[in-house]
Structure 1
Amino acid sequence: MSDTISDTCPPTFGFRVEAESEAVPEARRKIVALVRGWDVPLPDDAFGDLELLSTELITNAVRYTRASCAVAVRWTGVRVRVEVTDVSPARPHRRHGSLEAEGGRGLLLVESLATTWGSTPDPAGKVVWFELGPSGGTPPPRSTPGKWTITTDSGSATSGYLPAWAEDDPTEAGVPMDQLPERLAGINHRNFFEGPMLPLTAPDVWEGVEEDAVFEGSVDCNPYDPDPGLRVPVVNLQVCVGRWILGLDPLGVAEIAAKLRAHADFLDEKVRPALIAAREDWVAHQPA
């Protein structure tokens, strides 16, 4: 992505970090230099935190996946936001009073220094992000309803509708003409929503039982997708970590909702009474 900053949209920049030892320090320096160059109202002492937090997220991404990751840096109008996307669906989990990512050194540093931070599922794996800036108030949305425009280095412009609910604006300037098809293919209007937290276990990812969300997901629209059914908004549901139900149209969402309601009723009206009866029977026949 180009680091050209438009007067009509907040600064944003993205780049890829290879899984090499020297790549992390280079990425850290690039992020700090980029934000300083934007001349945003971030306190001087926050740049040290920016460096430390960026290092932590990028190191975790490349160390535990042994693959490259994608970094996006944004100015929301209130805070600096750094997003790191890697290929692993395993999201950071709290264990034994600490925060760990794929068994790594932990993300307690992120929790203590960042204004806010979190993670979201992504078709590529996951996104882990943090923000630095004022803790009061709510940052404005990072996209503006109406229109996105990608301008090439030859001056030609391609535009499209930008939904009000989209979390990102693909607007970009100075794109090499031969990279335009790739940029268009990568446009994904997205808005995440949360799911209920349930106790899950995944022996191949973490030990023991962890509280995690199920049936969380996102509203997605890929206007240049080869599949016409994905060029309109659909819902993608992650059943649990790394497991998704994809490409739902409105009827599909209704069908899933009906099944969840039916399953909830089944658990409450059938399974729960049977469990109570079984426990009472056990106590009656197997004294402590």
Structure 2
Amino acid sequence: MSDTISDTCPPTFGFRVEAESEAVSEARRKIVALVRGWDVPVSDNTLDDLELLSTELITNAVRHTDSSCAVAVRWTGERVRVEVTDVSPARPYRRHSSPEAEGGRGLLLVESLATAWGSAPDPAGKVVWFELGPSDGTPPPWSTPGKWTITTDSGSATSGYLPAWAEDDPTEVNVPLDQLPERLAGINHRNFFEGPMMPINAPDVWDGVEEDAVFEGSIDCNPYDPDPGLRVPVVNLQVCVGRWILGLDPHGLAEVTAKLRAHADFLEAKIRPALIAAREDWAAHHTD
């Protein structure tokens, strides 16, 4: 990776962390060393927070999945951004009754120290991210529209179109030449959208009922995917936690929308009156 900031190639780096205790400490040291090496304008206190929050997110990812996770570290031009992707679809949330659980003490630290943070569904599981840096009340843009470029350590460069809606810039420098195919295969232009919050039961994931989003997802484009249909923007729609409808083109999305609208009308016109009648009948005939 480059050791200094470039106006055309903002620093970014990604790596995998294995599900081993020593791997977490190695990962946090790597993250801090990367940011120091980029010579970005962040204070020593910010680097301390970076180490602490990186440790929390990575530890949660490997502890609660018993699997490796993927880490991405970026300089947005204003902030340091760390993203951790793991295989569990369960989004982090604060559990007041269990401070040692995921989303307990760790989430409190993230909320108190990070300039911004969040999580999003991913076909592989979920992404949890945080940013450290100045805050003006609005987050900085995640990408520079127009063009991405991956430059290898041999000096060759591969470029492509970076759409304005993409939330990430795959630009990278000094990539080992033998790793270029892997980097290209991993390019994903993505824009998340939210869904309504609903009370969700997931006995195989957590106990009790949790508020979670339904029918949220993302617009995705994977320009080097083996499937030509995924090389153009599609919608990946998460019906509920861990359940996806993938690869929707405009016609497919219209079909899903029509079915949801028809089902909403059915629930309102047929099921709601039937429920009211059933409750009234039950109250009239049932005795405790």
Whole-Å separation in 2 of the counterparts to 1:101 and 1:126: 17
Matched length: 287
- % identity of equivalent residues: 86
Q: CA deviation at 1:104?
A: 7.4
Give the TM-score, by structure 1 length.
0.91
Q: CA deviation at 1:103?
A: 8.4
Listed one character per residue, the Cα deviations across residues 51-70 of structure 1 (whole Å, up to 9, x for unaligned) are 21111101111112222211
Q: Cα RMSD (Å) of the superposition?
A: 2.2
Q: CA deviation at 1:111?
A: 2.0
Matches within 5 A, 1:1-288: 2-3=1-2, 5-96=5-96, 107-286=107-286
Q: CA deviation at 1:283?
A: 2.0
AA aligned to 1:142 is W
Listed one character per residue, the Cα deviations across residues 193-220 of structure 1 (whole Å, up to 9, x for unaligned) are 1111111101010011111111111111
Q: CA deviation at 1:141?
A: 1.5
Q: CA deviation at 1:37?
A: 3.1
AA aligned to 1:135 is S
- Secondary structure (helix, strand or coil) at the match of 1:170 reads coil
Change (3 A) 1:50 1:202: same
AA aligned to 2:232 is V
Q: Contact 1:92–1:99 at 8 Å: present in 2 too?
A: no
Q: CA deviation at 1:7?
A: 2.9
236-245 or 31-40, larger mean C-alpha shift: 31-40
Q: CA deviation at 1:83?
A: 0.8
Whole-Å separation in 1 of the counterparts to 2:130 and 2:63: 19
Whole-Å separation in 1 of the counterparts to 2:134 and 2:192: 23
Change (3 A) 1:64 1:176: same
Whole-Å separation in 2 of the counterparts to 1:144 and 1:285: 66
Q: Contact 2:58–2:69 at 8 Å: present in 1 too?
A: yes
Whole-Å separation in 2 of the counterparts to 1:33 and 1:136: 27
Which stretches in structure 1 are left out of the alignment for 5+ residues? none
Give the TM-score, by structure 2 length.
0.91
Which stretches in structure 2 are left out of the alignment for 5+ residues? none
- Secondary structure (helix, strand or coil) at the match of 2:21 reads coil
